[in-house]
């Protein structure tokens, strides 16, 4: 099987196809057709079931466009960039690190200069026309836009749904009755101006994410349901270690996984993957290498699936520390802290830099007040043991000797503490998951294609056919189809072509079962139910069709 087999099936049967096809297409953009939209919706529903219903997280829907300060704070404006090279001949742009794959250990971690050197040393040429390439240049991946007319402000299409949740921490915390841990989720579009989108749904410029941001007390990173699953095992590939099936508790106690909460959400991610029908033998959780991880991340794992493109990342699960909330707190000035009340008020010893106005007055005259204010804001450790500190006021620098201040210790009673929460983030890419689901479900034998989709995600749940479109068989079949539809089950009525062709059409789009009305139905009121995977047929009464199909859909199996 090739990825082209899947993509051509997708186009032929209305799952998805490249967008703006009639104008020659636009790389990195896809349309979902009726079956694809339905499959996507069903995958999202499985996710929502876990995160919103079972784990009780708050669902948010935030704008797709955000103002510049949001991405200044998050670091995207300065650092969300890839390096590209341009062909001097045909003008084609390519990711510089992709061209250096296999030529250096981790090309994505190299600097502009290092990458340039590797490409030059190996004489790398344009992969399209073989022409000479430029030196690598940085390219920010966010789509920029303007908001409003006239002297409009810069805005950016969000490159992840996550920021909407970080900036809303106070709302989430308040809505969660000011208790931690608390989780928020968001499903929606994300935009990245990828340099060379390729591999179908794997690298898109507009794609769909399902992200959860779960906020913790920094010293208590566990989750209420961790104990219930701690003996379950996961297929782990630790950084620098060997691949192994490890229980969650063994992985945490051996420090393979940083903490219980991260282990729990890795388990939940793996469970979700099985719920949507991914093949457990083609899944693994791979830990990021140290130089692959964001500098602020405390630990990071990817759920990867084996596909015809190789192992691809479907989900990233990271302990991001306090980086995100801290960044927005600093840039916006908003109080994005959590507060924890102690059981009993506690006595705490505090140190503070205390200016000595009498000494300072003689030295700094009219600047004393402003200077003293600056000094008292300094952390004691920043001045301790130093002969003098340099303080800047209104762009003027003052050398303030240690005789100008003391470090004063005092004892206070406090009822609780304020802190910046830490975040654990499972971030799912819907399009990649959908593609992997299709690949893992795809079976071809003697040119006969069956998509063995889990019933829970299959776009059509049941095909309903009259053996012949005559003698009243079609009337009964239509009635059955309507009663299934009015019960909320997606049924597909089809009377055209041979019955074999109709079964084949349903098998090819992953419909778990088919109900056929035949001449025996007229005699004894029974119909056949055919199982997509075994192709076996059993007879049941007409009245049993709705509950039987409902059982198949809800049970996730297709035993007819």
Residues that bind ligand GAP (CB under 6 A): 160, 162, 192, 194, 203-204, 207, 209, 211, 313-316, 425, 427, 429, 431-432
Task: Specify whether the CB–CB gap between 355 and 376 falls below 8 A.
Answer: yes
Task: Specify whether the CB–CB gap between 136 and 112 falls below 8 A.
Answer: yes
Tell the burial category of 423 from Cβ atoms under 10 Å away from its Cβ (0-12, 13-18, 19+). Answer: buried
Shortest Å, Cβ 162 to ligand GAP:
4
Strands 244-247 and 233-237: antiparallel
Shortest Å, Cβ 212 to ligand GAP:
10
Shortest Å, Cβ 324 to ligand GAP:
9
Shortest Å, Cβ 74 to ligand GAP:
10
Task: Specify whether the CB–CB gap between 453 and 508 falls below 8 A.
Answer: no
Dig out the tokens for 71 from the structure: 């991405």
Shortest Å, Cβ 209 to ligand GAP:
5
Contacting residues for 405 by C-beta, under 8 A, at least 6 apart: 353, 354, 355, 356, 375, 383
Dig out the tokens for 160 from the structure: 């992840």
Q: Which residue number, 202 or 451, has a Cβ lying nearer to ligand GAP?
A: 202
3-class secondary-structure state, position 80: coil
Shortest Å, Cβ 452 to ligand GAP:
23
Q: Which residue number, 97 or 160, has a Cβ lying nearer to ligand GAP?
A: 160
Shortest Å, Cβ 431 to ligand GAP:
5
Q: Which residue number, 96 or 162, has a Cβ lying nearer to ligand GAP?
A: 162
Mind giving me the DSSP string for 169-215? Answer: HHHHHHHTTT-SSEEEEEEEEEE---SS--TTTTS-SEEEEEEEEEE
Q: How far apart are CA 142 and CA 192, in angstroms?
A: 5
Nearest CA to 422 out of 153, 213, 254 is that of 213
Tell the burial category of 201 from Cβ atoms under 10 Å away from its Cβ (0-12, 13-18, 19+). Answer: buried
Shortest Å, Cβ 460 to ligand GAP:
26
Q: How far apart are CA 211 and CA 189, in angstroms?
A: 11
Q: Which residue number, 204 or 460, has a Cβ lying nearer to ligand GAP?
A: 204
Shortest Å, Cβ 203 to ligand GAP:
5
Please give the order of strands across the beta sheet that includes 244-247.
58-59, 182-191, 206-216, 422-429, 310-319, 299-307, 283-287, 233-237, 244-247
Torsion of CA 489, 494, 498, 502, to 10 degrees: -40
Contacting residues for 426 by C-beta, under 8 A, at least 6 apart: 211, 212, 265, 266, 268, 269, 315, 316, 317
Q: How far is CA 334 from the centre of its chain?
A: 26
Q: Which residue number, 138 or 174, has a Cβ lying nearer to ligand GAP?
A: 138
Q: Which residue number, 279 or 313, has a Cβ lying nearer to ligand GAP?
A: 313
Q: Which residue number, 161 or 456, has a Cβ lying nearer to ligand GAP?
A: 161
Shortest Å, Cβ 28 to ligand GAP:
7
Q: How far is CA 559 from the centre of its chain?
A: 33
Q: Which residue is nearest to ligand GAP (CB)?
A: 429
Task: Specify whether the CB–CB gap between 234 and 267 falls below 8 A.
Answer: yes
Q: Which residue number, 271 or 535, has a Cβ lying nearer to ligand GAP?
A: 271
Which uninterrupted H or E stretch holds 249? helix 248-253
Which uninterrupted H or E stretch holds 342? strand 338-355
Q: Which residue number, 230 or 320, has a Cβ lying nearer to ligand GAP?
A: 320
Q: How far apart are CA 250 and CA 546, in angstroms?
A: 46
Q: Which residue number, 204 or 449, has a Cβ lying nearer to ligand GAP?
A: 204
Shortest Å, Cβ 441 to ligand GAP:
18
- Largest Cα span, the chain: 112
Shortest Å, Cβ 210 to ligand GAP:
9
Dig out the tokens for 40 from the structure: 């996507």
Mind giving me the DSSP string for 283-325? Answer: EEEEEPPTTTS-TT-SEEEEEEEEETTEEEEEEEEEE-TTHHH
Q: Which residue number, 80 or 493, has a Cβ lying nearer to ligand GAP?
A: 80
Shortest Å, Cβ 524 to ligand GAP:
51
Q: Which residue number, 318 or 467, has a Cβ lying nearer to ligand GAP?
A: 318
Q: Which residue number, 425 or 518, has a Cβ lying nearer to ligand GAP?
A: 425
């Amino acid at each position: 099987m090739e990825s082209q087999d899947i993509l051509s099936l997708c186009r032929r049967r209305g799952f998805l196809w490249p967008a703006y096809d009639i104008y020659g297409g636009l790389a990195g953009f896809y349309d979902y057709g009726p079956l694809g939209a339905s499959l996507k919706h069903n995958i999202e529903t499985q996710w929502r079931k876990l995160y919103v219903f079972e784990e009780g997280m708050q669902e948010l829907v935030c704008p797709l466009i955000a103002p510049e300060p949001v991405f200044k704070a998050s670091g995207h404006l300065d650092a969300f960039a890839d390096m590209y090279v341009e062909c001097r001949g045909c003008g084609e742009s390519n990711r510089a690190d992709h061209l250096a794959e296999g030529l250096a250990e981790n090309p994505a971690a190299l600097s502009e200069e290092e990458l340039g050197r590797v490409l030059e040393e190996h004489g790398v040429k344009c992969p399209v026309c073989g022409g000479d390439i430029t030196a690598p240049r940085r390219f920010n991946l966010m789509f920029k836009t303007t908001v409003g007319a006239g002297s409009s402000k810069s805005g950016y299409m969000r490159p992840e749904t996550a920021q909407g949740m970080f900036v809303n921490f106070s709302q989430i915390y308040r809505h969660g009755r000011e208790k931690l841990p608390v989780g928020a989720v968001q499903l929606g579009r994300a935009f990245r101006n990828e340099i060379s989108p390729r591999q179908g749904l794997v690298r898109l410029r507009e794609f769909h994410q399902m992200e959860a941001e779960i906020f913790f007390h920094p010293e208590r990173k566990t989750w209420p349901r961790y104990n219930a699953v701690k003996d379950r095992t996961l297929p782990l590939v630790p950084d620098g270690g060997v691949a192994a099936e490890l229980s969650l508790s063994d992985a945490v106690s051996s420090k393979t996984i940083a903490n219980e909460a991260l282990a729990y959400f890795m388990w939940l991610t793996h469970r979700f993957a099985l719920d949507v029908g991914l093949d457990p033998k083609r899944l693994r959780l791979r830990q990021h290498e140290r130089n692959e991880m964001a500098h602020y991340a405390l630990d990071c794992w990817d759920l990867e699936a084996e596909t015809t493109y190789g192992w691809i990342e479907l989900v990233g699960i990271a302990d991001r520390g306090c980086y995100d909330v801290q960044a927005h707190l600093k840039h916006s000035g908003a109080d994005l802290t959590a507060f924890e009340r102690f059981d009993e008020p506690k006595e705490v010893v505090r140190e503070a830099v205390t200016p000595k106005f009498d000494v300072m007055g003689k030295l700094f005259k009219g600047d004393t007040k402003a200077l003293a204010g600056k000094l008292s804001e300094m952390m004691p450790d920043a001045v301790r043991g130093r002969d003098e500190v340099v303080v800047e006021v209104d762009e003027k620098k003052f050398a303030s000797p240690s005789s100008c201040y003391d470090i004063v210790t005092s004892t206070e009673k406090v009822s609780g503490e304020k802190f910046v929460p830490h975040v654990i983030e499972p971030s799912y890419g819907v399009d990649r998951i959908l593609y992997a689901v299709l690949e893992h479900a795809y079976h071809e034998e003697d040119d006969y294609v069956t998509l063995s989709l889990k019933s829970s995600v299959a776009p059509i749940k049941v095909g309903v056919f009259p053996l012949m479109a005559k003698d009243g068989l079609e009337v009964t079949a239509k009635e059955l189809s309507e009663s299934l539809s009015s019960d909320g089950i997606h049924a597909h009525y089809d009377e055209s072509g041979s019955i074999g062709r109709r079964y084949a059409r349903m098998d090819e789009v992953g419909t778990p079962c088919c109900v056929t009305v035949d001449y025996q139905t007229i005699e004894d009121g029974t119909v056949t139910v055919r199982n997509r995977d075994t192709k076996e047929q059993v007879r049941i009464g007409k009245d049993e069709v709705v509950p039987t199909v409902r059982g198949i859909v809800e049970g996730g199996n297709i035993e007819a």
